[in-house]
Each structure stands twice: as structure tokens, then as C-alpha cells.
Amino acid sequence: MIHDLRDRPDLLDAVAAAIWLTFWQRKGHLLADLQAGFRKHLAPGDLPFTLAAEIEGAFAGTVSLIACDEPERSDLAPWLAALWVAPEHRRSGIGAALVTEIERRAAALKIARLYLSARPVIAPFYEKRGWQPIDHEIGPAKLVIMERVILEAVAPAPGGLAALHIQSRKARRAGAQNNRWSGFPPSRE
């Protein structure tokens, strides 16, 4: 079952620990920073939000939708970020289900396009699901930036994507390199 973290805040520590261990620990970030960041995902509103998957009552995976995940491409918004599936549940469809649910919820918010950054070896997973590479070799990790068109020719909902772009510009002026407004620590490489 896939839950919105706002409905299951009891999963916050498990989500934060998984993302910290996978993406942030080796870069010297504290687990407490991730926990604080994910608490922002509990606030009411459109973004950011996090989904958590459970299998038979056990935490099995997570993904988030945030304003920006790559400071080098802060002109793009919003971003699918931090897709993670527990090793024992990989290749079972949980990752695909989490991506599909993020896309469904984005469409419900009248968001026309989503973006993500991925290691080149992971890009085929997203390409099979309709994501297209739009930029390559971003940052030291040489990430691929991908785009997914969710809705064709959609006018932004009041306070929706248009407000997000305003927020993005304000965040860039305030220093997007620290990514405070996404709920995640500074840039992943």
C-alpha cells in the first residue's frame, strides 16, 4: 500500500533513515537534518510531499515530489526525488508503483511536467515509464536530467505550478544552492 507521509507520519523516521543512508550519509550530512527536512513534507499544501510504500505492514519504499532537486537546473520544477526501495523488495514493481503514484498526484494538481535527476545506469528504468532525457552530465556525478510530460497544454491551477515557479525564483534569489525549501540538504554532488 502507498501512503502519503502526511497521513502516516509514523513512517517519517524510516523514510529519513533510508534516504540518509542511501544519498546523504557519505556526504557528511546528519540524519537529524533529513528528519527535519521530511517534517516539512508533513505540512498541508501541494508541495513538497513524500509517499511511502508498505508491504505487509513493513516500510518498503519511498519517493518525494519537491520544488527542486538540482541547483544547476533550478529553472525546472517540480522534481521527483529520492526514489528508494528496500533491497528485499527491488524488482517487484514497488519503484514503478511509487513513480506512477507521484505522476497521478501531480496530474491531480494540474502539474503538466515533472523532472528528475538520475545516474545514467538508472535512466532506462525511467525511460521505460515515458521519461525523456533532456540534459546530461550534470554535476560531478554526471547525472541525467529527465522530463515526464504528465498533462498536455494545462493551464496552472491557481496557486499551483505558477506559485511554485514564483517560489522557485524567490528561493534562487535567497540562495537555492542550500535547497532549504525542498526539505532536503544541499545538492547531491
Instruction: Please list the residues that pair with 53 across neighbouring strands.
Output: 2, 61
Q: What is the DSSP letter of 21?
A: I
188 inside domain:
no
Q: What is the residue range of 42's domain?
A: 2-181
* pLDDT interval class at 8 (50, 70, 90): very high
pLDDT, one tens digit per residue, over 87-112 is 999 999 999 999 999 999 999 999 99
Within a domain: 186? no
Residue 99 lies in a domain: yes
Assigned domain for 187 exists: no
Residue type, 91: R
Q: Which residues contact 100 (CB under 8 A, 6 or more apart)?
A: 129
Q: What percentage of the chain has pLDDT greater than the value 70?
A: 80
Q: Which helix (H) or strand (E) holds 39?
A: helix 31-40
Is position 115 within any domain? yes
Q: What CATH number does residue 49 fall under?
A: 3.40.630.30
How many domains does one find in the chain? 1
Those residues whose C-beta lies under 8 Å from the C-beta of residue 84, and which sit 6 or more positions away, are 18, 19, 22, 61, 62, 63
Per the domain annotation, does 189 fall within a domain?
no
What is this structure's pTM?
A: 0.81
Q: Is residue 33 part of a domain?
A: yes
Mean pLDDT of 42-56: 96
Angle CA 106–147–24, to nearest 5: 85
